[in-house]
Amino acid sequence: MFKRYLPIFTWLPHYHKRLLGADLLAGLIVTVMVIPQSLAYALLAGLPAVVGLYASILPQLLYTFLGTSRTLAVGPVAIIALMTGAALSSVAAPGTPEYLQAALVLSLLSGAILVAMGALKMGFFSNFLSHPVISGFLTASGILIAVSQLGSLLGVSSSGFTLVERLMTLLPNLPTFNPYTVAIGGGTLLFLVLMRRYGKQSLIKVGLPAALADLMAKAGPVFAVVVTTVAAWHWQLAYEHGVAVVGTIPSGLPALSFPWGDAPLWRALLIPAMLISLVGFVESVSMGQMLAAKRRQRISPNQELIGLGAANLAAGFTSGMPVTGGLSRTVINYDAGAQTPAAGAFAALGIALVTMAFTGWLYYLPIATLAATITVSILTLVDIPMLRQTWRYSRSDFAAMAVTTLLTLVEGIEAGIIGGVTLSIALFLYRTSRPHSALVGRVPDTEHFRNVERHDVETVSNAALLRIDESLYFANARYLEDTVYNLVASRPELEHVVLICSAVNLIDASALESLDAINARLKDSDVKLHLSEVKGPVMDQLKKSDFLDALTGRVFLSTYAAWRQFS
């Protein structure tokens, strides 16, 4: 009972000192690594930097109790931050109390939607986001995030949540760039790229163990934060040269907040909250399943909905922002040796300690450093090889990917996701509305049957064996009728038509009506209709109707049995 609703009881009774040591070390490493990310993602959403820290404390603690992944780290992430900023900018001006209030309402809505989906066992709902749509969305989001950070890297102002808006506000301000900011941002960007590509190999060459070299290479953002913060403090770059810094970050734990808001605000944020919930769930579950498989573990998508929902509710009540399982922080947690969700709890406690006592140290942290950190972290989202592969493999899937990418860049995130999903469903309906079918014959001296147009097979003149390679439902029922009627009209000698149903997993009411019509029309033409290889669940449904009683032919267990009957 407890294990079902509180997954913490699946591992806590077996907890011991060795696991504690590994989780403590992982928690410490994650604490140090994700603080710059948490600050950066809050700024990306247009929120105060401290909101990113708040969103990394109680949400992660609650996920520790309710989540099923042993290594998933929950907190602010780039994609959700971008979606949050786009949603909030439509209801309030950044920097205002109303903007922060809207962020809390958005977190509550996202949390409530996720919990409701979990209670209704709707983990399957994420399947409506096809891989091409996700890939197109991530690629466009990566480009948007990178462009959104150009202003901070150059020391000029820019705004907007589409590519056009960003460029229109950025380009006129380019002549006023701050050379000191450019030096900090460009230097940090170059350093982080080099560390990501060559850091581990270079450190191994100088004699460091592979594990330590890998950890130090991943700690590149921490080194960049320390060096640039000390430099900004030592040379007073904020006051003497106009370099933008994080400034004062309130110390102490977040106070409980009650973001009730008004009804119009909740209605305005409902659709964005649904999209944030869906995208966050897909990102989190994909990462959780991948890492769980490496350790031969399993996660429960429906329980993950509960865990992520509770985390977002916690963010809403503790002055946070929408959260999900983050790619980079989860990989850091996994590579650092986390064994149980306790590692995430230790990281949350570490961030809470920093929030209470050490935020003053971050005053001189340059915004350009955080912008460089974000830019490098989202480089992996732009998947050019996947674009090329999808173009070669499927033009229709590439169309869904391209539409998602273009709409996200030009019209915004909501339009991109909705447009991509709509086009994917429309293309699916179009493809399945014209199901592939094939006349088959027997491969000589075997019980196997293949397409007469592809293989040298044996056929009989008075019977047509028609294989249907798709489930039958309302969208393709009429097409099936036309296919059978055309077949009968082209072969006057036919006496039997056998529909091979080995690939049919469903026959809905519309398709059943079409089968009735086919059976009646063939009867008028003195042609008998037969079925073969009908799957058990499909046969169970057919038995609930009068179709089998009216069927002019038989239902054969195999196509070979039908062949023997007519040959």
| 327 lies in some domain | yes
Could you tell me the pLDDT band of residue 429, with boundaries at 50, 70 and 90? confident
Among the ranges given (250-264, 444-458, 553-567), the one the predictor scored with the smallest mean pLDDT: 250-264
Q: Based on the fold, state whether residues 266 and 182 are members of the same structural domain.
A: yes
Asked if 530 and 502 count as a contact pair (C-beta separation under 8 A), the reply is no
For residue 1, the model assigns a pLDDT of: 55
- Asked if the model's pLDDT at residue 501 lies above 80, the reply is yes
Q: Based on the fold, state whether residues 442 and 423 are members of the same structural domain.
A: no
Asked if 488 and 525 count as a contact pair (C-beta separation under 8 A), the reply is yes
- Please say which residue of 404, 433, 462 terminates a domain: 433
For residue 296, the model assigns a pLDDT of: 80
For residue 24, the model assigns a pLDDT of: 92
Position with higher pLDDT, 406 vs 329: 406
Q: Based on the fold, state whether residues 353 and 471 are members of the same structural domain.
A: no
Residue 524 sits in a domain whose CATH number is 3.30.750.24
In total, how many domains does the chain have? 3
- Asked if the model's pLDDT at residue 458 lies above 80, the reply is yes
Asked if 26 and 346 count as a contact pair (C-beta separation under 8 A), the reply is yes
For residue 122, the model assigns a pLDDT of: 87
- Asked if the model's pLDDT at residue 157 lies above 70, the reply is yes
Could you tell me the pLDDT band of residue 127, with boundaries at 50, 70 and 90? low
Buried b (16+ CB within 10 A) or exposed e, 452-463: beeeebeeeeeb
| 224 lies in some domain | yes
User: pLDDT digit string (tens) for 335-362?
Assistant: 778 899 999 999 999 999 999 999 999 9
User: pLDDT digit string (tens) for 290-303?
Assistant: 788 788 888 888 99
Q: Based on the fold, state whether residues 468 and 383 are members of the same structural domain.
A: no
- Indicate the residue type of 421: V
Whole-Å CA distances, 442 to 71, 169, 417, 498, 567: 53, 68, 47, 14, 11
Could you tell me the pLDDT band of residue 73, with boundaries at 50, 70 and 90? very high
- Please say which residue of 370, 405, 433 terminates a domain: 433
Mean pLDDT across 515-534:
95
For residue 2, the model assigns a pLDDT of: 63
**Which residues, other chains included, contact 452 with Cβ-Cβ below 8 Å and sequence gap of 6+?**
438, 439, 440, 441, 459
Q: Based on the fold, state whether residues 108 and 89 are members of the same structural domain.
A: yes
- Please say which residue of 433, 451, 483 terminates a domain: 433
Mean pLDDT across 507-524:
95
**What is the DSSP pairing of strand 528-532 with strand 437-442?**
unpaired
Q: Based on the fold, state whether residues 298 and 429 are members of the same structural domain.
A: no
Q: Which domain holds residue 487?
A: 437-566
- Asked if the model's pLDDT at residue 41 lies above 70, the reply is yes
Q: Based on the fold, state whether residues 441 and 383 are members of the same structural domain.
A: no
Mean pLDDT across 367-379:
88
Rg of the Cα atoms in the chain: 30
Q: Based on the fold, state whether residues 323 and 408 are members of the same structural domain.
A: no
- Asked if the model's pLDDT at residue 452 lies above 90, the reply is yes
> How far from chain centre, in Å, is Cα 229?
34
User: pLDDT digit string (tens) for 169-190?
Assistant: 999 999 999 999 999 999 999 9
For residue 444, the model assigns a pLDDT of: 93
Could you tell me the pLDDT band of residue 230, with boundaries at 50, 70 and 90? very high
What percent of the chain is predicted at pLDDT more than 90? 63
Exposed, middle or buried: residue 450 (CB in 10 Å: 0-12, 13-18, 19+)? middle
Mean pLDDT across 264-270:
94
What percent of the chain is predicted at pLDDT more than 70? 99
Cα–Cα distance measured from residue 561 to residue 539, given in angstroms and rounded to the nearest whole number: 18
Among the ranges given (4-18, 179-193, 437-451), the one the predictor scored with the smallest mean pLDDT: 4-18
For residue 126, the model assigns a pLDDT of: 67
Question: Which run of H or E residues covers position 532?
Answer: strand 528-532
Question: Which run of H or E residues covers position 521?
Answer: helix 509-524
Q: Based on the fold, state whether residues 318 and 403 are members of the same structural domain.
A: no
Can you tell me whether residue 449 is helix, strand or coil? strand
Whole-Å CA distances, 202 to 207, 218, 219: 9, 13, 14
| 135 lies in some domain | yes
| 5 lies in some domain | no
Could you tell me the pLDDT band of residue 133, with boundaries at 50, 70 and 90? confident
Exposed, middle or buried: residue 515 (CB in 10 Å: 0-12, 13-18, 19+)? buried
Mean pLDDT across 489-509:
94
Residue 254: both structure tokens together: 């977040």
| 345 lies in some domain | yes
Q: Based on the fold, state whether residues 374 and 234 are members of the same structural domain.
A: yes
Cα–Cα distance measured from residue 351 to residue 56, given in angstroms and rounded to the nearest whole number: 7
Q: Based on the fold, state whether residues 82 and 158 are members of the same structural domain.
A: yes
Residue 557: both structure tokens together: 């267990």
Asked if 268 and 90 count as a contact pair (C-beta separation under 8 A), the reply is yes
Chain mean pLDDT for the chain: 90
Position with higher pLDDT, 216 vs 515: 515
Among the ranges given (57-61, 221-225, 231-235, 464-468), the one the predictor scored with the smallest mean pLDDT: 221-225
| 147 lies in some domain | yes
| 10 lies in some domain | no
Asked if 472 and 507 count as a contact pair (C-beta separation under 8 A), the reply is yes
- Asked if the model's pLDDT at residue 92 lies above 90, the reply is yes
pTM of the model: 0.83
| 343 lies in some domain | yes
Angle at alpha carbon of residue 508, lines to 506 and 511, rounded to 5°: 105
Q: Based on the fold, state whether residues 254 and 384 are members of the same structural domain.
A: yes
